[in-house]
Amino acid sequence: MLQPEARNLDGNVLRLSLIAYVNAKKRGLVERPILTVIDYSKPSTEKRLWVFDINKGEELFNTWVAHGKNSGSLEASSFSNNPGSLKSSIGVFVTEETYTGGKGYSLRLKGLEPGVNDNAYRRDIVIHGAWYVSPNVAEKYGQIGRSWGCPAVPTQTVKPLINTIKDDTVVFAYYPDQSWLKRSSFLVS
């Protein structure tokens, strides 16, 4: 059983992510029992991305993740679905295919929530590695670097993380946005 206290994950965020996972699975959107949780309510200096194996109840990863440069500095507080916003998106996503591009090995995300994150694929919101996502950068600058909206992760983590979550697994990007929390069809238990 997943125990959020052991990994600094808020119990309510874990609960919501599991509800979203179950609803995505009921809709036939999930191929494998892997759940990625991003908690954008935490500052970027904290490890705020977790990957879980749902069947085994195990944490597979806990690492840092960037938010978009226009979402905030140390803490993200503004999110968007709009192309060119350079902001992160919240909500429920499903992982798609991998590719190697300008940011190296990357993973496409498909946003599942109309008006919240359904432009993610068109915006090229992908998981990729970035040198500026590291504890050294956080220590030197008081925050990790920011992306153009992508959930960028440490370069040494990117390949094993992507290989674990690729191909139709759920990514749940949380922020306590009351409008989204009230209207998301994925958060109805």
In order, the DSSP letters of 88-140 are ---EEEEEEEEEEETTEEEEEEEE-STTTTTTTTTTT-EEEEETTSSHHHHHH
- pLDDT, tens digit, 9 for 90 and up, residues 52-88: 999 999 999 999 999 999 999 999 999 999 999 999 9
pLDDT band at 179 (very low <50, low <70, confident <90, very high): very high
| Residue ranges covered by each domain of the chain | 4-187
Q: For tokens 């238990």, name the residue.
A: 189
Contact in structure between 54 and 184 (CB atoms under 8 Å) = no
What pLDDT score was predicted for residue 3? 62
**pLDDT score recorded for residue 7:** 72
∠ Cα 138 65 173 (to 5°): 140
Strands 153-154 and 170-174 come out as unpaired
Contact status, residue 134 vs residue 150, Cβ threshold 8 Å: no
In tens, the pLDDT along 130-155 reads: 999 999 999 999 999 999 999 999 99
**What average pLDDT does range 120-126 have in this prediction?**
98
Looking at residue 170, its pLDDT comes to 99
Average pLDDT over residues 88-114: 98
Give bridge partners of residue 147 from the DSSP assignment.
68
pLDDT of residue 1: 61
Is the model's pLDDT at 181 over the cut of 60? yes
pLDDT at site 68: 98
Distance separating alpha carbons of residues 59 and 36, to the nearest angstrom? 10
The 10s digit of each residue's pLDDT in 161-170 is 999 999 999 9
Share of the chain above pLDDT 70, in %: 97
pTM: 0.96
CB 157 within 8 A of CB 149: no
Q: Kindly report the CATH number that applies to the domain delimited by 4-187.
A: 2.40.440.10
- DSSP H or E stretch at residue 25: helix 11-26
Integer Cα distance of 9 and 19 in angstroms: 15
The number of residues in the chain equals 189
